[in-house]
Amino acid sequence: MTDRRMGMWYEELPVGTVVRHMITRTLTEADNVLFTTMSMNPQPLHLDADFASKTPFGRPLVNSLFTLALTVGISVPELTLGTTVANLGFSTVEFPAPAFAGDTIHVETEVIAARLSGSRPGQGIVTFRHIARNQRDEVVCRADRQAMMHCRPADSSGHAQ
């Protein structure tokens, strides 16, 4: 069987681990319009340039839920691809600064808590703090996310069995 893992096992994620993710992404107007309309959100602050031009921001804001999804998505290849059991939830989600079309997002993740599961042998719960910044180094998203992670398989090579 081929090991399809890119992410890290529970044991590879001790508290204090920091990952500066290699993937970056420039937000586009199309991203914003597509996500906002797909999620049935009629908010003109995201969809109506004329309306948004009259707000303190002066232009449409990228939908914050897209910013959150992108923040977590960028982290997946290096942290959880092939090693997660399930996303358990978010304890904190903040958007300290707005994101706009044309911003390039880069993400850093820190492991802020980790414990073995009491009810699921071979699994542990990891709390990730994801921080997304734009090209001006302004924080546009901060999220604490809990995920159930697989422990390293018994095969000492680290390959999935």
Q: Which domain holds residue 28?
A: 10-150
Decide: 160 and 4 in contact? Cβ < 8 Å: yes
pLDDT in tens, 71-93: 999 999 999 999 999 999 999 99
Instruction: Tell me how far the alpha carbon of residue 100 is from its chain's centroid.
Output: 18
Residue 5 lies in a domain: no
Residue 157 burial (CB count, 10 A): 9
The pLDDT assigned to 5 comes to 67
The pLDDT assigned to 72 comes to 98
Residue 113 lies in a domain: yes
CATH number at residue 62: 3.10.129.10
pLDDT, mean of each 10-residue run, the chain (161 residues): 75 97 97 96 96 97 98 97 96 98 98 95 96 98 98 68 41
Residue 95 lies in a domain: yes
Residue 133 lies in a domain: yes
Number of domains in the chain: 1
The pLDDT assigned to 3 comes to 60
Q: Rounded CA gap, 154 and 6, in Å?
A: 18
Residue 155 lies in a domain: no
Residue 2 lies in a domain: no
Q: Rounded CA gap, 122 and 131, in Å?
A: 28
Instruction: List the Cα angle 66/47/51 in 5-degree steps.
Output: 130
Instruction: Using alpha carbons, select from 69, 86, 77, 72 the residue that is nearest to residue 128.
Output: 72
